[in-house]
Structure 1
Amino acid sequence: MLKNSLLSFFFSLFVTVSFAQKLDTTKLDTLFYLLQTNDKFMGSIAISENGKLLYSRSIGKDDLEFGKKSDSNTKYRIGSISKMFTASLIFKAIEEKKLTLNQTLDAYFPSVPNAKKITIGNMLNHRSGIHNFTNDNSYMSYNTLPKNQAEMVIIISKSKSDFEPNSKMEYSNSNYVLLSYILEKIYKKPFAELLKTKIVTPLGLKNTYFGGKINLKFNECYSYNFVEHWEKSTETDTSIPMGAGGIVSNPIDLNIFIEALFAGKIVSAKSLEQMKTLEDNMGMGMFQMPFYDMKGYGHTGGIDGFSSVLAYMPDNKLSIALTSNGGVYQNNDIMIAALSAYYGKPFVMPTFTKYEVKAEDVKKYLGKYTSDQLVMTLTITGQEDKLYAQATGQSTFPLTATEKDTFEFATAGIKIIFNLTDKVLELNQGGQKFIFRKE
């Protein structure tokens, strides 16, 4: 649910139970100890095998101002993992003969560009061409304000199609906001009620529901961003993301949900197979998550300072859910560690080393850098012994030195390596490498 951009303690140990010799809980305990003591992550994880809880841990705080510690009952906004729930509700509607994958959008929202060509199936696997409203600069001007269906449809409809329906895949939150409204239209009930009656109650989920204003009394937590120190994040009004990113849950509940989904307890085996079928690496409400030669399925999520991952490995009936309300260590690395601990694969623990940069050395890095690979300028500025970077059209972010001429912005997984001799810098993010030359 996050807007796209370049930048795309005390232990609170709760439950650690081992039902299998496979899982190296010591490795996971060590990782979370390092994350905790270095203030790199706040959140919860749960690992289950065939419905049995193998490991659960929570670190950090629900509320930093008053020091309320997180535990296994803490509830998080799960962002785009909500799409798995919404897709499941759509397939239940299909099984109840209320909808078909080939039904076109014009029957519900004819004002959306290309509505006569866009099918329910196109929306489920992001092949609709409907513009993603969270990509617009204006999004951040209203995301904390409540919006009703009519207002959101106007916002989504005002943009032209990004491409011809079913010609390619491009992720768009607009698809699942509209799918939420379609569910409300065909059932004549609020999305929150449909979620509760068709998924939450039948599965006995105790910590899952459509979110509202964050309330600590309900064991919900605030989210935080780290910019030199933890800062409380804005709070998106859930009337905007709807079923694209408005659900609240926790790791234990998420594991129960995905286990039930793959066990045929929510939708039929036929429907699940359709959800799993990939086209341009995207399924309907889920995508593939490979680990070595194994194939898992699931979804990631991000909204405000919250981030999450849910994965299921069918061959082992293994489910892993990770929810966070603040982190400068990548969720993907924690998931790799968890899977490595289960499958006996090697994993190197982070060291979080820092390299001291003297104030007089900072000026060597300053300047504007441009790249032939990206249409943007990266401006490096400094203040005393601190270094900052700013990409064209983006906010300034701090850089932390990890070794000589090497800096990181861990929140976004960015590493910058300076070559002072050649007057270039190398920016690494998400497995990609970009070269910038100083002007």
Structure 2
Amino acid sequence: MNYKRIVSLVAVISSVIFDYAQAQQLNTVKLDSFFNAVSSNNQVMGSVMIAKDGKSIYRKVIGYSQVDGDKKVASTLQTQYRIGSITKSFTAAMIFQLIEEKKIALESKLSMFFPQMPNADKITIAHLLSHSSGLSDHVNENREWIIAPHTKAELLNKIAQVKPHFEPGAKQQYSNGGFLLLGYIIEMVSGKTYQAALKQRIIDKIGLKSTIAATTNSSQTLEARPYSFNGTWVPVEDIYFPNVVGVGDILSTPQDLSLFINSLVAGKLVSMQSYNLMKTFTGNNFFGMGLLRSPFYKKVLLGHNGASYGSYSAMYIVPEDGTTFIITTNGMNYALNDVLLALLKAYYKYPYQIPIQLKSSDLDELLGNYQSEDHALKIQITKSGNALIAQASGQPAFSLDVVNRNDFKREKYDVLLKFDRIKHEMILVQGGKNFIYEMVK
């Protein structure tokens, strides 16, 4: 009898029992309370999921897919969200498929496809995949190049005109431009549009039901439009999808993203050799070849984040236990990392806090006009529902996040307001300085 095999089998069985019990013991009531709080506070709209070995053990959908004044469409499990840079993991998977088909190689030079690019005779497919090409980032370096319509020729010319940040392979620096080129290379080598290649090579292959690569900005029935919160949810100026082919043009759902990352890890999309290359990291760098790594205590998460205007997402798997954590949003007035940490801590039994919820009536005694002897700006405090709104003289109004019953913040503007309900005072904390304000009666 093979003693080692018995020990191994017992270990596997114990692991399965432990993980099943862990899933069964997930405190869904507390997790629901967390998401109900961020929804009530107008901090998050979206859909989240925890899955074990590809099977869902927790789902939550909050908010609306489309908001037009008082007309609101509630999001559902079928709602499709912009997944931003998670698209890059799909692009990388298709590139590795083409490599396995011997149509290209990791060592293939960029000059084979785009000789007009700087360092084209030095940059390889591997450099593009690992963000080590040194090419410019057309998305983050100029907002206009992601929002305004541009032709493929204009986008290529934009990337080609910018001086490289460093020599290929010298270091890693995130480059959306590099992945745009990979998206175009998929089209050139496969003879199909990126959308058609995605459908054939990934969507149909593993049975994704709600994933598409968007070709236009026309609103789809199940599409979650992007919003920001400023007293109410208002539409965000959208990205122009043809500008971000292979970079951030995919819409999907948590269910499909869980199936995708599990299929990738299981070798159903690319070979295990290719998958291992995708998760090859150098030193302490977080970029692999289409996958990112993120630490959580002693565990390592593999996957990708995504961010486009108004929409933020995360797709991660813990390979050692097969647990998947997915976040897709179309309205975020909260830190994406804090949402991910709530899911992780809930599953792995670490403590986490539920955001405080205030009723609209809790804000009433804070409302009014404030002025300070130490600061020229006057500040008006109003409310919209259960959201507190601040507006300094001559400046636009903005909503505040709840810290506790008396403290409110807006990290984007480095603003913290601390109210004293008894003295009818407010302390503005900004730039490391404190300014005392009194309510004007």
TM over 0.5: yes
1:127 is aligned, of 112, 125, 132, to: 132
- Mapping of residues 24-423 of structure 1, within 5 Å: 24-65=27-68, 66-137=71-142, 139-140=143-144, 143-214=146-217, 217-279=220-282, 280-352=285-357, 361-363=370-372, 366=375, 382-385=378-381, 387=390, 402=403, 407-409=408-410, 412=412, 416=416
Relative to 1, partners in 2 of residues 1:317 and 1:110: Cα closer, same or farther, differing over 3 Å? Answer: same
CA deviation vs aligned residue, 1:39-88 (integer Å, no higher than 9, x gap) = 22110011110121111121111111121110000001100000000011
- The answer as to whether partners of 2:229 and 2:399 remain within 8 angstroms in 1 is no
Compared CA separation, residues 426 and 383, structure 1 to 2 (3 A):
closer
1:245-268 Cα distance to aligned partner (Å, 9 max, x none) = 001101000000000000010111
Corresponding letter in the other structure for 1:270: Q
Quickly say closer, same or farther: Cα 1:425–1:383, change in 2 above 3 A.
Answer: closer
Amino acid across the alignment from 1:75 = Q
State the distance in 1 between where 2:131 and 2:26 align.
Answer: 36
How far, CA to CA, are the matches of 1:335 and 1:179 in structure 2?
29
1:201 corresponds to which letter in structure 2?
D
Do the aligned partners of residues 184 and 51 (structure 1) sit closer, same or farther apart at CA in structure 2, a change above 3 Å counting? same
- Tell me how far 1:346 sits from its aligned partner: 1.0
Secondary structure at the aligned position of 1:239 is classed as helix
Identity across aligned pairs (percent)?
A: 34
Structure 2 CA distance for aligned equivalents of residues 204 and 364 of structure 1: 65
In structure 2, how many angstroms separate the alpha carbons of the residues matched to 1:349 and 1:404? Answer: 14
Deviations 1:162-217 (A, max 9, x none): 12221111111101101000111111110111100000001100101101335555
Q: TM-score, normalised by structure 1?
A: 0.81
- Once residues 252 and 45 of structure 1 are traced to their aligned partners in structure 2, the CA distance between those partners, rounded to angstroms, is 9
Question: 1:218, CA displacement in angstroms?
Answer: 3.4
Q: 1:55 aligns to what SS in structure 2? A: strand
**Partner secondary structure for residue 133 of structure 1:** coil
Moved more, 112-121 or 241-250: 112-121
After superposition, the Cα gap between the structure-2 partners of 1:400 and 1:365, relative to the gap in structure 1 and judged at 3 Å, is farther
In structure 2, give the amino acid aligned to 1:281: F
**Count of aligned residue pairs for this structure pair:** 390
Larger CA Rg, structure 1 vs 2:
2
Alpha-carbon displacement from aligned partner over 1:407-426 (angstroms, at most 9, x marks no partner): 5225x5956589xxxx9966
* Aligned-partner residue type, residue 147 of structure 1: H
CA drift of 1:113 comes to: 1.4
CA distance in 1, matches of 2:295, 2:353: 19
SS in 2 for 1:202: helix
2:286 alignment partner, SS class? coil
**Equivalent residue letter for 2:372:** K
The one-letter code sitting in structure 1 at the alignment partner of 2:347 is Y
Distance in 1 of aligned mates of 2:429 and 2:119: 43
Residues 352, 113 of structure 1: alpha-carbon distance in 2 compared, 3 angstrom cutoff: farther
Contact 1:77–1:211 (CA<8 Å) still a contact in 2?
no
- Residues 425 and 37 of structure 1: is their aligned pair in 2 closer, same or farther, counting only changes over 3 Å? closer
Q: 8 Å contact 1:406–1:415 — kept in the other structure? A: no
Unmatched 5+ residue regions in structure 1? 1-17, 368-380, 390-394, 428-434
> Is this contact kept in 1: 2:356–2:403, CA < 8 A?
no
Mind listing any 5+ residue stretches in structure 2 that lack a counterpart?
1-20, 382-388, 419-426, 436-441
Change (3 A) 1:100 1:218: same
Q: What residue number does 1:8 align with?
A: none
Seen in structure 2, the aligned counterparts of structure 1 residues 345 and 364 have a Cα distance that, compared at 3 Å, is farther
Distance 1:400 1:291, change over 3 A: closer
Question: 1: distance between equivalents of 2:188 and 2:240?
Answer: 21
Query: Which aligned pairs between 1:16-27 and structure 2 lie closer than 5 A?
Result: 20-27=23-30
RMSD: 2.9
1:248 alignment partner, SS class? strand
Counterparts in 2 of 1:218 and 1:364: CA distance versus 1, 3 Å:
same
Q: Is the 8 A contact 1:224 1:232 kept in 2?
A: yes
1:196/1:187 Cα in 2 relative to 1: closer, same or farther (>3 Å)? same
Q: Is residue 78–residue 210 contact of structure 2 (8 Å, CA) maintained in 1? A: yes
**Alpha-carbon deviation of 1:401?**
7.4
Question: What is the Cα deviation at residue 129 of structure 1?
Answer: 0.8
Q: Identify the residue that residue 14 of structure 2 maps to in structure 1.
A: none
